[in-house]
Chain A
Amino acid sequence: GAGVSQSPSNKVTEKGKDVELRCDPISGHTALYWYRQSLGQGLEFLIYFQGNSAPDKSGLPSDRFSAERTGGSVSTLTIQRTQQEDSAVYLCASSLEGTVAEAFFGQGTRLTVV
């Protein structure tokens, strides 16, 4: 596609349920990033993929969070046993080389845990 695509755009889930957020990066972009944007914490880095491997998972807030990327393309961020503090907008970005190329962002998934 022309840009980074994220789905769903909105997700409401009950506390304790698992959720999966999807990111389709720009074709050919080898680097993929997940960020979280919340009122209290601003924009936080979660995880970085180069190809299918994740050299840096340091931003994942807890072991309830995991992510994978397959075929060097689509990535899925999974949150298990969701908590209310997980409510946020989850943003995905991709870039050409994972160096300091311009990162292109998707429109995000707004997750609300009730």
Chain B
Amino acid sequence: AQKVTQAQTEISVVEKEDVTLDCVYETRDTTYYLFWYKQPPSGELVFLIRRNSFDEQNEISGRYSWNFQKSTSSFNFTITASQVVDSAVYFCALSEEPNSGYALNFGKGTSLLVTP
């Protein structure tokens, strides 16, 4: 069963628009961790954020913000005033298994295209 669902396969926006990438997760554990990674065309996965299950405080980093809501098992990612350089595939991931070194269980990814 898919533990992380990113329902949006592709999103296309015009530069300066705000865009929200959705992520819904499924777990029975009370302790878990959520991540967002960016994969630009170069292919290397770049870490954006990590959140633990006990910290529901939303976070803002520049144009990026994250909304974690345990009640809806969601960890959404918003880019404000998008730029062409934001074009990439974005992955949401869940980590819950200490025996696997907390390996990442990824969603299928959302491909974001920002056009000028």
Contacts and interface: CB of A to CB of B under 8 A. Distances in A.
Interface of A: 31, 33, 35, 42-45, 48-50, 55-56, 58-59, 89, 91, 93, 95, 98-100, 102-108
Contacts, number: 63
A55 B100 contact: yes
B99 A55 contact: yes
A45 B100 contact: yes
Interface of B: 33, 37, 42-47, 50, 52, 91, 95, 97-109
B103 A43 contact: no
A56 B100 contact: yes
Most A C-beta atoms less than 10 A away, residue of B99, B103, B109: B103
10 contacts: A33-B101, A35-B104, A42-B109, A45-B104, A45-B105, A48-B100, A56-B97, A98-B102, A105-B44, A108-B44
